[in-house]
Amino acid sequence: MPEAPTLSGFKSRLTGVAPRILVFDSGLGGLSVLGEIVKRQPAADVIYIADDAAFPYGAWDEIALVRHIVALMGVLIDDHLPDLVVIACNTASTLVLPPLRARYSVPFVGTVPAIKPAAKATQTGLVSVLATPGTVTRDYTRQLVDAHAARISVTLVGAGQLATLTEARVRGEAIDPSVVRAEISPCFVEQDGARTDVIVLGCTHYPLILDLLVDAAPWPVDWIDGAAGIGRRVDALLASRDGPPPAPGSSGGPGRLYFTSGAVAASMLQQRLVSFGLTVSP
């Protein structure tokens, strides 16, 4: 695995122009975060990087994954000069935020399971976290549980196939509902007459198939993801930029999506990406 290149880390763009936001994910799951960001920052110049050449991140050794993302991020920062980077991937965020912040001066916003709001929302005291196997086994996730949900029962569920199924769904492929049902079934716990009433979507892919999750659920629950919190953090960081804000009503125009594999999106995927305000760039 190549070492991170030696770069200046961050070349500041002109102040007073629309902010450039780089949204980074292992695949297309970060689209769920992108939608919240664009809603809040319609004037932003958005660049979306789908690291499909390395998907899925859950199959990587942790040290190798950190090296890969830190090295790739240096190249992306040097190429695109973002004002802010959103790591729209829970698996990556639980590992790489400290080394990224140590290496580069551009602000980073991470994505972590929304355990704190889930703990506040539950009425039965039974909460489940649905995430990738890597995310649920990380010390960071368990620390979030200890810090914000120590007085309730939290079930951590690692879904091995949901992220890949979501990628297929976004590309227009059909998904077997029975597979979705099997993946989420451990989230639904009955204990002393109480039932799970809140499920945290701990992977940014999962909100993109929320309709399938709702259909597969044995009883109604509240589904919580972290997109709104990410959007608020982006707002706060961009508010601290030097120079005047963009004019009211201004728009950054269509964002650009790059696949690290160099792949060209199929026509059905291109149509779906247009709904997120993105065009695919070579």
Per-residue pLDDT tens digits for 68-104:
999 999 999 999 999 999 999 988 998 899 999 999 9
When pLDDT is cut at 50, 70 and 90, the band that residue 266 belongs to is low
Q: Is the pLDDT of residue 218 over 80?
A: yes
Q: Region 28-37: what's the mean pLDDT?
A: 92
In CATH, what class is 20-111+228-280? alpha beta
Say how far apart CA 47 and CA 61 lie, in whole Å: 27
Average pLDDT, the chain: 87
**Catalytic residue ranges:** 89, 203
Q: Where are the alpha helices (DSSP H) in the chain?
A: 31-40, 62-80, 90-103, 115-121, 133-137, 139-148, 162-170, 177-184, 210-216, 227-239, 267-275
Token duo for residue 155: 């079930």
Say how far apart CA 72 and CA 85 lie, in whole Å: 13
Element (H, E) at 156: strand 153-158
Write the pLDDT tens digit of every residue in 104-150. Answer: 999 999 998 999 999 999 999 999 999 999 888 888 899 999 999 99
Residue 233's CB: how many other CB atoms inside 10 A? 17
Specify whether the backbone of 249 is left (phi greater than 0), alpha (psi in -120 to 50) or beta.
left
Give the pLDDT confidence score for residue 31 in this predicted structure: 93
Contact between 235 and 40 (Cβ < 8 Å): yes
Write the pLDDT tens digit of every residue in 154-196. Answer: 999 999 999 999 999 988 889 999 999 999 999 999 999 999 9
Strand, helix or coil at 25? strand
Give the pLDDT confidence score for residue 243 in this predicted structure: 53
The residue whose two tokens read 């804000």 is: 245
Give the pLDDT confidence score for residue 235 in this predicted structure: 95
Residues 6+ apart with CB under 8 A from 19: 41, 43, 44, 45, 83, 84, 238, 241, 246
Q: For residue 255, what are the β-bridge partners?
A: 278
- For the domain spanning 115-225, the CATH number is 3.40.50.1860
When pLDDT is cut at 50, 70 and 90, the band that residue 268 belongs to is low
Write the pLDDT tens digit of every residue in 219-258. Answer: 999 999 999 999 999 999 998 865 545 444 444 556 889 9
Q: Where are the alpha helices (DSSP H) in 133-226?
A: 133-137, 139-148, 162-170, 177-184, 210-216
Say how far apart CA 72 and CA 82 lie, in whole Å: 14
Q: Is the pLDDT of residue 12 over 60?
A: no
Give the pLDDT confidence score for residue 208 in this predicted structure: 94
Strand, helix or coil at 30? coil
Give the burial class of 150: count Cβ atoms within 10 A of its Cβ; 0-12 exposed, 13-18 middle, 19 or more buried.
exposed
Q: Is the pLDDT of residue 15 over 80?
A: no
Give the pLDDT confidence score for residue 273 in this predicted structure: 80
In the chain, residues under CATH classification 3.40.50.1860 are 20-111+228-280, 115-225
